[in-house]
Chains A and B, each alone.
Chain A
């Protein structure tokens, strides 16, 4: 009962954090775009926070470069439980077009566990909203 209420609260106000791990900026501007007037993710209680300690959901973009890998692990460890990671864009999912570069880890799931993937290069802001809803439903029940 209490768990159900908790999950409902988590689902209704996910606080987001955005971490760029070497992406091309395309997904990053689309994430910011999803928070600006036309898409307005704040309708769903989503707020973009600067600190990982305040965040429930981390939106990761980029193929994870070798330099940023230890920082990604640290930032992920700083997030309080329960936490979820959403990989936004195809280079965060598999490395995308950067597959084969010597300085990347080919996707976020090789470094930290990922709850959901939003495909697209870059995904439209609508697709990011849809992906966030999919991930939250899967994590905290429909």
Chain B
């Protein structure tokens, strides 16, 4: 039944692509290996929060480090959608074989602000700049004490300090 089809195909060019001897083109909007943008990323970790496969981890040792393991990634592009700074995009790269899966990572490092109370992490420097910008409009409504605390203390220390203030007010 396919004899006629086979004869027709004899007269045509080969259907097989020459890959890997010739590169192939992937369509616009292809979801390949995720890449961070060094300029735009503020290290907020929104991408890590939405990731369905828990492929993005945030560590805060010397610096704030976002590590995306594309050995876990599902290439769903939810991170791309969640990032309002366009700092993570899915590139067109699809040849992603490795011999060691721990090498399959994409990383970005951000300087961090250190808490004056405990030496822990407040946030990445860029994220703090953004927070300052965001609250600049409502600055006048916030007590000066709190405003300082936001930029100098981590959330835990801020909570402790607030609790101390309340206690001292009540018992003084």
Could you list which residues of chain A lie within 8 angstroms of chain B, going by C-beta atoms? 37-40, 43, 90, 93-97, 99-100, 109, 115-121, 123-124, 126-127, 129-131, 133-135, 138
Contacts of B53 in A (CB 8 A): 90, 96-97, 99
The 9 closest A-B pairs by CB, nearest first: A131-B97, A119-B96, A97-B53, A134-B97, A130-B95, A121-B74, A40-B16, A93-B71, A118-B97
- Give CA–CA (A99, B55) in the complex, Å: 10
Number of contact residues on B: which range applies?
Answer: 20 to 34
Given contacts A38-B15, A131-B97, 18 further A-B contacts (CB under 8 A): A40-B16, A90-B74, A93-B101, A94-B69, A95-B72, A96-B72, A96-B73, A97-B74, A117-B71, A118-B96, A119-B97, A119-B98, A121-B74, A127-B94, A127-B97, A129-B19, A133-B20, A135-B97
- Give CA–CA (A94, B95) in the complex, Å: 18
- Give CA–CA (A94, B72) in the complex, Å: 6
- Give CA–CA (A40, B16) in the complex, Å: 7
The answer to whether B99 touches A121 (Cβ under 8 A) is: no
Closest to B97 in A: A131
Could you list which residues of chain B lie within 8 angstroms of chain A, going by C-beta atoms? 15-17, 19-20, 24, 26, 52-54, 69-75, 94-99, 101, 104
Closest to B9 in A: A37
B52 partner, pick from A37, A94, A97, beta carbons under 8 A? A97
The answer to whether B96 touches A123 (Cβ under 8 A) is: yes
Interface centre among B19, B26, B95 (most CB of A within 10 A): B95
The answer to whether A126 touches B71 (Cβ under 8 A) is: no
- A120 with B16, Cβ < 8 A, contacts A93-B71, A96-B72, A96-B74 known: no
Contacts of B17 in A (CB 8 A): 38-39
- Give CA–CA (A45, B20) in the complex, Å: 14
